Each structure stands twice: as C-alpha cells, then as structure tokens.
A and B are shown apart, each in its own frame.
Chain A
C-alpha cells in the first residue's frame, strides 16, 4: 500500500482551515466554563449547603460519562426539546436553522466546567488561608483579598492543569464533526470521503493536532514561568 502524498498535502491545507473553528470551539468553551467553574470551586471550598452537593453530583455525572454519549444525547435530545419550547412560546423558529456549533459549545462547556472546577478548587486551596486573613487584617475586603492576593497565586498554580484541560478540550473538539461542525477533523473526513483516502487524511490531522497541542502546552509553560517568577528563590 502506498500513501497518496499529493492528496495528503492538499488535505493538509484544507484541514488547516479548520483550525479557527477548532480553536474557537476550545476558546469559547473555556471562556464560558471558567466563571462557572470558579463559582463551583468556591461553593465546594466554602461548603455552601445544597450547592456543594449539587456541584459534586454534576462533576461526577459529567466526568463519569463518555463525552461521545453526551454529544449523542444533547445533539438528539436538545433539538426536540427546543422545538417543543419554540412551539409553546409560539415562536416561528425552525430548530434545524439553529447552528449546530451551539450544541457543540454546550457539550464542551459542560465538560470543561466540570474539569476546571476541580482544577480551581485544588489551586485555590494551595494558597494558605493565612494570606487571606493577613489581607483582611490590614483592611482589604474579602473581594479585594481574593482578586489581588489569592486568585493571582492560585492561577499560577493552576496553569499546568489548565494547560492539560485545554489540550484535552482541543482533542475533544474533534468529536464536533458528529454535530456537523466543520472543524479540523470534519474537513479532513469530508476530503477523505471523496476518494476513500481515510488513512492519509487521519495521518495528516494527527500531525496538525500534535503541533497545535504542543504549541498550547508551550504557551502555558511560558505563561507559568512569566507569572510565577515570584516563586523561585534568587541568589543574593
């Protein structure tokens, strides 16, 4: 068997066009998930009654089910629920006009929020309660103490795990093709389907994902180095 290298090169450039979709799927999910995850982490750390339990159930539910199943459920269930809703509200919106990328945002945001809530929780707990108290004792409000002292340090601690979550998310978005979203994977699959060149197409996007994910990991490492400078003892 020989690989069709000409096809591979062509597919490479076509699949590259999926990068903005893949990255914006990841970025928007991260953006939507972060504040939610932060409040879930706070709810768990401060043992806020009711909320704490709800968060625990949510996290174990999301993390305990395969993402592919979540996609199938949301992608087949949500449209009919929405349809019902639109009809009840007498809205003349056709659910099939809803951009499928919205479903993708929902699935990935739900997953990322669960993962991030754990990351934030452990990171916040690494900052000693004493620093919070010290800030309060010199007159800072709890809000200021968090935003100026606790969160910046927790963020630095969280960065490696945040990088992992991001990389997992980018890899996970390759399932978006199931929702007919045209990301890297979807574009390559479409290209492959014309001449049945699946092996070549998969090899090509394999490398695209490796490059993308390595780049993200590198970015997170540099960011950690930059923001975490205060942690390393210097000589003299």
Chain B
C-alpha cells in the first residue's frame, strides 16, 4: 500500500538518509527504532513532504511519485492520504480541541461544517476527550494535547498515520493514556508507522519492527525476531543499551 524506495537526503554535507527502502501493508503497525540522529524523523517527514528528499520514489496506493520533484498535485494527494502526529503535538493554539480537529476537514477536505463537527466529536470521544471539546491547547495537559493531535489525525480518515515519538515530550505518568489510544487504533486495523523508544509498545503492538542506524535500515522483521534474536551486531548493541536504560529507570 505504501512503499518508499531508495530514499536519500542530505542536510548540507551531512548525509542523513543513504538509500532507505520500506514497505507498509494495509493494517500494518510498523515501529521504527534507532539511535538519535539515525534519520527516523527525516524519513517520516519525507513521506508526506514536510521534508523534501534528494532522491527516492514513493508509491502510495495509486500514486507513484519521485520524492525530489513530485508535483503539487501529488503532494496534496499524498498528504490527504496520510496524517502526522508530532512529538510536540503542534496543535493550533488559536483553535479549541474541536476546531483543531475540524480544521482539516472543513478547510482541506471541504466537509460541510455540521458533518465535520460530528466527525470531530467522534474522534475526540475515541481518544477519551468527550469533556474537552471547547478547551484551548493552553488549557490541556500534554497527554490531552497529544490525544487531540491523534484525534486530528484520525478524523481525516487517512490510509496511514505517521507518529514521530508521540510520547517522548510527555511526563511519564501521561505516556500511558496516549499509548492506550494508539493500541486501540492498532486493534481497529489502523495502518501506522511509529517512531518510538517505547519498547513495550513495539513488542506488544507492532507487527513489524525496523531498526535504522546511520541513515540505513540495518534490520527489519517481526518484533519477536528483532527483540529475541537480532541478526546484526548493531541491533544487538542498540537493544542492549535501551533495555539497560529501562532497567535504570525502573
């Protein structure tokens, strides 16, 4: 359903993506792991053209485009098929929770207002915010803001939702509420690509784990394999470090 081929991206002389291939099927929950600076965010942002890759191909449903010179039309079409959940939520501060969700429906997708409000309420109910429709982001906790961010993403009914470390800006006690919402979505068959350091989530929810390092995909497979018998030395080292960090935290 979604395929990226040979993605390259440099920032100045810093080559961040060195020919990455990934493919995602409908209903997949793909978790991307990797050390800081390995290019995870850049890869995710390239998918919906928040970052313009230097080279590569995207095949998304019936659209096929070159990442480096996709037409405006293709970019908009791909953005309509996908949604992004940001590390820092990036809610519209001048909009209430409900308006954050209706914005994309009304303005980008031309959904009639009443219908948009209906959809937005449903999306907010789903993430457990039925009592916060009219709150502004400044009046919500981090976890609530991120759940609005997720509602904003699911409301447009995308083919895939891209999550970039959705819980890493949150206080530990708020992480659970966001992960639970994501688990729910996965159960319903939502296609998701998730960059995260939450190993438990990766183990329990993902059906595919991709380990990136130094701008390439080092290893990929089902979580059972990656976590219990990683083939590559770099994967082993990374996992050892992460698991150790976990021990320290606990």
A contact set with B: CB distance below 8 Å: 127-128, 130-131, 133-141, 144, 148-149, 152-153, 156, 230-234
Contacts and interface: CB of A to CB of B under 8 A. Distances in A.
B35 interface: no
A140 to B, nearest CB: 5
B88 interface: yes
A4 B95 CA distance: 58
Given A134-B91, A149-B92, A153-B94, A139 B80 contact: yes
B107 interface: yes
Given A133-B50, A149-B94, A153-B93, A140 B139 contact: no
A233 B79 contact: no
B50 A136 contact: yes
B76 interface: yes
A131 B93 contact: yes
A138 B93 contact: no
Contacts of A230: 93-96, 136-138
A135 B152 CA distance: 10
A130 B103 contact: no
A128 B90 contact: yes
B83 interface: yes
Interface of B: 48, 50, 76, 79-80, 82-84, 86, 88, 90-96, 103-104, 107-109, 135-139, 152-153, 156
Contact of A130 (B80, B88, B139): B88
A152 B94 contact: yes
Contacts of A156: 94
Contact of B48 (A131, A137, A148): A137
Given A148-B103, A233-B139, A139 B93 contact: no
A230 B91 CA distance: 12
B19 to A, nearest CB: 25
Nearest to B155: A138
Nearest to B105: A138
Contacts of B107: 139-140, 144, 148
B173 to A, nearest CB: 19
Contacts of A234: 135, 139
23 contacts: A130-B86, A130-B88, A131-B90, A133-B50, A134-B91, A135-B103, A137-B50, A138-B83, A138-B153, A138-B156, A139-B79, A139-B108, A139-B109, A139-B156, A140-B103, A140-B107, A148-B103, A149-B103, A153-B94, A156-B94, A230-B93, A230-B136, A233-B138
Given A128-B90, A230-B136, A234-B139, A138 B50 contact: no
A138 B84 CA distance: 8
B130 to A, nearest CB: 16
B44 to A, nearest CB: 11
Given A130-B88, A148-B103, A148-B107, A139 B76 contact: yes
Leading 10 A-B pairs by shortest Cβ distance: A139-B108, A138-B104, A130-B90, A134-B90, A137-B84, A230-B136, A153-B94, A233-B138, A149-B92, A233-B139
B108 A140 contact: yes
A109 B191 CA distance: 54
Given A134-B92, A148-B107, 11 more contacts: A131-B91, A131-B92, A131-B93, A135-B92, A137-B50, A137-B79, A138-B108, A138-B152, A140-B104, A152-B94, A231-B93
A153 to B, nearest CB: 5
Contacts of B139: 233-234
Q: Which of B48, B84, B92 has the most CB of A within 10 A?
A: B92
